Amino acid sequence: MFTLTEYNKNPQKDLALLNLLEKHYAHLYFWPQSFGDVSYVRELVGNRCRVLPPDLEALDACCRRKGLIMFGTRLHAGIRALQHACRTIIVAVDNRATEMGRDFNLPVIQRADIEARLKNLLTSQWPTDVRLDFEAIRSWRSQFP
């Protein structure tokens, strides 16, 4: 499964992502977080992938498929896939994914590195070792009554 972000387009890099995925996987599912995402993926690849409905039920159902791997530029979809124990690579298109990747050890690569890093990741295992600072969370929450 993959995601793209229509409000932060990079057709060259996004098409490189899709071309790499097509070389390694027989079936591609696209989950749109917004209706604009559907138009964008259609511009890039036409009907070369199955477009899922833009709702959490569809995302969750796809994430429950055995062996599903999630790639893409939608940070929250990547986090949701991690919650379902899916192997996940989040492609950073802004500072949120980059910073959260650093803070929580999320599996994030930079969009500029798609060709260099993703090709190697597709043919290997990568660790998922998300780390949360629960003490910092408790401390932050304690300020509220």
Inter-CA distances, 86 with 66, 137, 141, Å: 9, 25, 29
Question: Distance (Å, rounded) from C-alpha 86 to C-alpha 72?
Answer: 13
Please indicate, yes or no, whether the overall pTM of this predicted structure exceeds 0.85.
yes
Confidence of residue 78 (pLDDT cuts 50, 70, 90): very high
CA-based end-to-end distance of the chain: 41
Confidence of residue 126 (pLDDT cuts 50, 70, 90): confident
Residues 6+ positions from 134 with CB-CB distance below 8 Å: none
CA-nearest of 21, 138, 130 to 73 is 21
**Structural domains for the chain:** 2-141 (3.40.50.2000)
